[in-house]
Amino acid sequence: MPHATDNRPTALLAMGPGIAGRLLADRHRTRLAELTRTDPHLVAHDLADPTPEVAAALAEAEVLFTCWGATPLTEGVLAAAPRLRAVVHAAGSVKHHITDACWDRGIAVTSAANANALPVAEFTLATILFAGKRILHTAHRYRELRADHDWLSELDGAGNYRRTVGIVGASRIGRRVIELLRPFDLDVLLYDPYVDGAEAARLGVRLAPLDELCASSSVVSVHAPQLPETHHLIGAAQLSAMATGTTLINTARGSLVDEEALLAELTTGRLRAVLDVTDPELPPAQSPLYTLPNVLLTPHVAGSLGDELHRMADQALDELERFAAGLPFADPVFAGALTRSA
């Protein structure tokens, strides 16, 4: 029913093909229509070369509701959106589509990075606990043996009691992993040059230099952002510092790990790895990562998928409701923060 005095902001959905159908359930489209003046079924896939219908909607839009695959908001795109005041991103990083032109225009930005951090942290927790129990190794061995075996002897030294876990990067995801680890009898080290001792104490972790963390941890989990200074943050020196049997987990970005140096360690069997991201994103078909028994390789699925996308939509719609009510975003994104975040 139209509002008697309709002060709701105009909005436009902008994201890659097929994304809206996965992101938005019927209840989300209903809420979107209640909060804004928009067609909840019109989705702009290309704002740089829009259809006439999308161009008309973009010209009126005060808010863009974006997700993966959104068009970069260049000066040209923004020129076609003179009323645009905010971008609500129903996913994690905004670096793909939020440009300097957006900040120059004073456009308010928010993202559902917190909602997307949770499934990555849950995935990481599961792999940390599995690594301690040596589940990947045991499953391979059981498949080979298909017989009774002295597992207690073979797995002597495994387990998750008083094991040390190293977290590289106190990002949103890194902090959620630390939070999820609290109920367990694990010692947690943290490397992050922006965290001081007082904050580390609040997090319940001990700060350590990167090389010391690598040398002291049974599991090293990477959660730093992809920045020029974090390229190959885990290199040959850090990998060689790890004790035999250490598991490296990477759910951040493939470029943070020197993959050539990592492969050298993995092919000898000295280290183990759980890799949800690689460099390049899709390893070549002949890559040993697909077949090494000490590697769990997954196709960048630690983040939101399936019904977890609805959590991001819920957070984004909460932010849209705040905007419609004239309130500031609860989780704003600022240009300065992007220099050291994902």
For residues 226, 117, 276 and 45, what is the CA-based torsion angle, rounded to 10 degrees?
-80
Q: Which of 206, 300, 322, 340 is catalytic?
A: 300
- Active site annotation includes 281: yes
Instruction: Give the helix ranges, DSSP H, for 106-150.
Output: 113-132, 135-145
State the Cα–Cα distance between residues 17 and 324, nearest whole angstrom: 27
State the Cα–Cα distance between residues 107 and 87, nearest whole angstrom: 7
Element (H, E) at 263: helix 259-268
- With b meaning 16 or more CB within 10 Å and e meaning fewer, what string describes 99-115? bebbeeeebbbbbbbbb
Three-state DSSP at 168 gives strand
Peptide bond connecting 280 to the previous residue in cis, omega within 30 degrees of 0: yes
Three-state DSSP at 149 gives coil
Q: Which of 28, 253, 272, 310 is catalytic?
A: 253
DSSP 175-211: HHHHHHHTTSSEEEEEE-TT--HHHHHHHT-EE--HH
296, two tokens: 């769990």
Task: Answer left, alpha or beta for residue 111, where phi above 0 means left and psi between -120 and 50 means alpha.
Answer: beta
- Active site annotation includes 182: no
CA–chain centroid gap for 271, Å, is: 24
State the Cα–Cα distance between residues 97 and 70, nearest whole angstrom: 6
Specify the amino acid at residue 77: V
Three-state DSSP at 114 gives helix
Measured N-to-C along each axis, helices 172-181 and 113-132 cross at an angle, to the nearest 10 degrees, of: 50
- Active site annotation includes 310: no
Catalytic residues: 253, 281, 300
